[in-house]
Structure 1
Amino acid sequence: MTETASRPTVSQAPTAPEPRARRFRSELGYLLSGLPLGLAAFTVAVTGAALGVSTLVVWVGLPILAGTLRAARSLANRERRRVTAVTGRPMPSRHPLPSGTGWAGTLRAVRDPRPWRDLVHPVVAFPLQVTTFSVALTWTLGGIGELLYATWSWSLPRGDGNQGLAELVFDTSSRAADIGFNTAIGVFLLATAVPVVRALAGLQTRLAVALLTDDRAA
């Protein structure tokens, strides 16, 4: 009688999900840092492209465009690293631009279609970055400010012509109603901050993935 030794099946433990607080901080940091970084990338992309295209007729624009595309490639790779950090899904960097010397190498770099997508991204993404930055900052800091309204509302001017939000909505001058109403707004903003920030970060990262994904990258 032959006994067949059965090898126990080893089940891999599921990867522990990222703590909610850490993920929220990561997404909020991604949104808040997106505006200054996006402004720098937008300035480089628009200025370089406009200068390069406008001077193509005298051939000066060709090296300017090539340099702008290389800068756009570097900025796009930085955005890929940011998206990888916030989503946990890697976005490989693009292959280097075609190399070469002289006008032939510069022309090959400009004719490569991939860096043009890197150049388009900051132009398209900048309006969204302004919006997500403003909403995320207002939602979180505004929520904290409203939650602590009772501690600083004394500094607001009172009297004729200086109506609070509760007085405008409910037509009451009660200080208790004013504090309660604003505190409730703060509770609502902070209670919904996690899904709102996650949705905003999702919009911004999906745009980056759509424009900056390089299927040919290693």
Structure 2
Amino acid sequence: MAETRETAVTATRTTDSTRDMHDTWGTPPPAPRKGRFGRELGYLLTGLPLGVAAFSTVLTMLVLGAAGLALVVGASLLVAALAVAGAFARVERQRVAHVTGRPIPAPRYRERRGSGIPRALHALGDGQRWRDLAHALVAFPLRIVTFCFAVTWTVGGLGELLYGAWSWSLPRDEGEEGLLDLMFDISSEAADIAFNTAVGAVLLATAVPLLRGLTALQTALARALLGDRA
């Protein structure tokens, strides 16, 4: 009985110690499993419109700023491009924290000093601001790929699974029985429905690990470029 009481006390102390460590170092608990698939799907789908906005805005300002770099206007545009990239970086850090449950440590930016041209040049020398800008550009093609895979494996998989319910609406030439007929010359409506339904089942069955891998790839890029390098 005494040993049982001592074991319980030890377990309580260990739990309290772990909780204190989390409170001290700011380490968040892991993301809850419930709703994880939905968070990952939302993260990947919303990444594309966010990436389009970040890429087009930052790239336009960067090109115009570089073209007029000899002028004050050019330097101001470059500083503005870095500021916009920083705003998108803050949004991405919040998105990563939401989907993974592990926030990205906020980086330390160089404090701007002076005014006018010296202040702008000081901002242009901040390496973290350029990494924010690099993320806005580099993440865009990755977001396109992850978006396409996410839509194909979820919406496309669901559509294929329900193929038998809507395949009648597809326009067909005389004697043509769908994809299976085109691929393997098997002219059978039942076989075509069974084939497409099986494809949908496979896509949906593999959607969870696929989306998890795509999310890990995209969040890894964010952590590498947007986190505190210290």
Q: TM-score, normalised by structure 2?
A: 0.84
Is 1:130 aligned with 2:144?
A: yes
The answer to whether residue 15 in structure 2 is matched with residue 12 in structure 1 is yes
CA distance 1:142–1:77, shift in 2 (3 Å) = same
In the alignment, what sits opposite 1:118? 132
In 2, Cα distance between equivalents of 1:171 and 1:162: 9
What is the aligned length? Answer: 211
CA drift at 1:95: 3.5
Aligned to 1:50: 63
Q: How does 1:174-193 map to 2 (within 5 A)?
A: 174-193=188-207
2: CA distance between counterparts of 1:80 and 1:163? 49
1: CA distance between counterparts of 2:74 and 2:185? 64
Q: Does residue 86 of the first structure (1) align with residue 99 of the second (2)?
A: yes
Question: What secondary structure is seen at the aligned counterpart in 1 of 2:70?
Answer: helix
8 Å Cα contact 1:45-1:72 kept in structure 2: yes
1:38 correspondence with 2:38: no
SS at match of 1:57: coil
Q: CA RMSD in A?
A: 2.2
Q: Residue deviations 1:155-195, cap 9 Å, x none?
A: 11233374411212332221111111111111111111101
CA positional deviation for 1:114: 1.2
The match for 1:200 among 214, 219, 230 is 214
Question: Aligned partner of 1:112: which letter?
Answer: D
**Quick one: percent identity of the two aligned structures?**
50
Show structure 1 runs of 5+ residues with no match.
none
Partners of 1:161 and 1:43 in 2: CA distance: 48
1:74 aligns with 2:87: yes
8 Å CA contact 1:166, 1:178 repeated in 2: yes
More helix by share: 2
Q: Structure 2: where are the runs of 5+ without partners?
A: 19-28
Aligned 8 A contact 1:77 1:94 in 2? no
- Return the offset for 1:76: 0.5
Q: Which secondary structure state, in structure 2, belongs to the residue aligned with residue 56 of structure 1?
A: coil
Counterpart pick for 2:178 among 154, 160, 164: 164
Scaled by the length of structure 1, the TM-score of the pair is 0.89
Rounded to whole Å, the distance in 1 between the matches of 2:176 and 2:72 is 63
Q: Deviations over 1:66-123 (max 9, x none)?
A: 1111111111111111111111111133345522322221111111111000001111
Separation in 2, partners of 1:98, 1:157:
63
CA distance in 2: counterparts of 1:112 and 1:17, whole angstroms: 33
Alpha-carbon contact 1:83-1:91 (below 8 Å) kept: yes
Aligned to 1:77, what secondary structure does the other structure show? helix
Deviation at 1:62, TM superposition (A): 1.1
Task: Work out the CA distance in 2 between the residues paired with 1:30 and 1:6.
Answer: 46
